[in-house]
Amino acid sequence: MGAKVLPGDKVTLNGKTLDPNPEPVYIAFNKPRGVVCTTDQREPDNIIDFIGYEERIFPIGRLDKFSEGLILLTNDGDIVNKILRSVNNHEKEYVVTLNRPYEKDFIRRMSGGLPILGRITKRCRVTAVNDQTFRIILTEGLNRQIRRMVEYLGYHAVRLKRIRIMNIRLEDLPPGYWRYLTEEELDELRELTSHSRKNPKTHVGGHDWDE
């Protein structure tokens, strides 16, 4: 702790030499229920061991243990900060199923902002899928935000699946599988984040961006 690494120094971890300038890696992963979005390998269900990627990567943001769907992983800390900061208004889209059919004013109340965690959530887009399932697009990421919002209205989310982060879509990627982002996706992602502000207080590993 506190040791400085200078140009020309060689750093090893568990007998392996670390590359000071690793090739950027960008991965889309369909997280199943039960996987925990942490880099702490003391957690038996951590996302890093589940994926088993040969190089060090970390999740951009998180989904809670019982949520599923799209999460991005990378070794590029610069893009992490740009994507995570809520002031940049980057969209995340979810499909949510409730424990019972919702009442007719549910969509209006969800989209208009609700008091959770001592604040009012930002207005968001909410559309009905059927009488028990809806889609929601957020541009902020408070801790367990969607679950807290539906609980405020008297419901319980029995399934919560993220299907899109900005221009990256889950589509037909099976649960438990990952893929590299395409060049087209990366080009658009870089364009979307080109004017984003970075947050120097963001923690690598994504503990301040949730569904």
Q: In a 3-state reduction of DSSP, which class is residue 43?
A: coil
64 labelled catalytic: yes
- How far is 101 from 142, CA to CA, in rounded Å? 25
Using a 10 angstrom Cβ sphere, with 0-12 exposed, 13-18 middle and 19 or more buried, the burial of residue 81 is buried
Catalytic residue, chosen from 40, 45, 49, 64, is 64
- How far is 138 from 160, CA to CA, in rounded Å? 13
Q: Which residues are CB-contacts of 115 (< 8 A; sequence separation ≥ 6)?
A: 121, 152
Helices (H), 22-87: 47-51, 77-84
Residue from 32, 23, 25 nearest 50 by CA:
32
- Report the catalytic residues: 64
